[in-house]
């Protein structure tokens, strides 16, 4: 796939996401090249394949942004590095204690992306309101996994729909994902 074709596909997906959310989105309002097309200053709940989460982290840090991963003790940082992540721009807090939402809220001040693993918890609208306002004000995207964030405007599910293997190595070199939001397929992404 050429860079021009990939860029055109990303822009098309951005426009479809904007239409689904009922607002127009410019490329500058999105995290850099993120396949999940995450608007800055918003909260997105992501479920399914973790490779999409790692791809977003890799792209944000490779483009010079700062990211944090909270409450994901078994995250595969090697996979993120293989996707191009810059670990010097990544903070990892595997065990945020009893209040991972508070830890994420503090990190929002200095990050472009905060990935928050809720460990099966649910964040109510009342609790979420202040964190969402802070994310919007700071232009930080909060990507929530392994739980529920009431009132999140975007919910994405990533499903593995194919693999490519490295010739001669017997190792997976690329994972193909189908990304759905609001019950509609909004795109496909390749990681690896």
Question: pTM for this one?
Answer: 0.74
Residue-wise pLDDT tens digits, 37-67: 677 888 999 998 888 899 899 999 999 999 9
Residue 103 is predicted with a pLDDT of 96
Q: Is 1 exposed, middle or buried (0-12, 13-18, 19+ CB in 10 A)?
A: exposed
Measured CA to CA in angstroms, residue 71 lies from 63, 177, 184 at distances of 24, 24, 29
- Is the Cα dihedral 180, 35, 41, 44 positive or negative? positive
- pLDDT confidence of residue 160: 82
pLDDT digits over 167-190, tens only?
777 777 677 777 777 644 455 555
CA distance 149 to 175: 27
CATH topology classification for 3-191:
Rossmann fold (3.40.50)
Q: What is the pLDDT of residues 93-124, one digit of tens each?
A: 999 999 999 999 999 999 999 999 999 999 99
> In the chain, what are the domain boundaries?
3-191
Give the pLDDT mean for 83-93.
95
Q: What is the mean pLDDT of residues 23-45?
A: 58
Give residue 169's pLDDT: 72
Distance between CA atoms of 138 and 21, rounded to whole angstroms?
Answer: 21
Whether 97 contacts 35, CB under 8 Å: no
């Amino acid at each position: 796939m050429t860079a021009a074709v990939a860029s055109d596909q990303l822009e098309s997906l951005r426009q479809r996401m904007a239409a689904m959310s009922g607002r127009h989105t410019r490329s500058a309002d999105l995290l850099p090249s993120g396949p999940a097309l995450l608007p800055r200053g918003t909260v997105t709940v992501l479920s399914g394949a973790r490779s999409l989460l790692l791809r977003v982290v890799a792209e944000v840090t490779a483009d010079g942004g700062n990211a944090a991963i909270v409450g994901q003790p078994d995250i595969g940082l090697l996979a993120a590095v293989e996707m191009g992540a810059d670990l010097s721009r990544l903070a990892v807090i595997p065990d945020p204690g009893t209040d991972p939402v508070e830890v994420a809220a503090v990190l929002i001040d200095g990050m472009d992306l905060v990935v928050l693993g809720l460990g099966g918890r649910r964040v109510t609208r009342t609790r979420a309101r202040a964190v969402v306002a802070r994310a919007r004000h700071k232009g930080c995207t909060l990507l929530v996994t392994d739980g529920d964030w009431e009132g999140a405007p975007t919910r994405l599910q990533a499903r593995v729909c194919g693999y490519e293997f490295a010739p001669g190595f017997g190792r997976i070199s690329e994972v193909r994902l189908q990304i759905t939001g609001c019950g509609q397929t909004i795109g496909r992404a390749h990681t690896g």
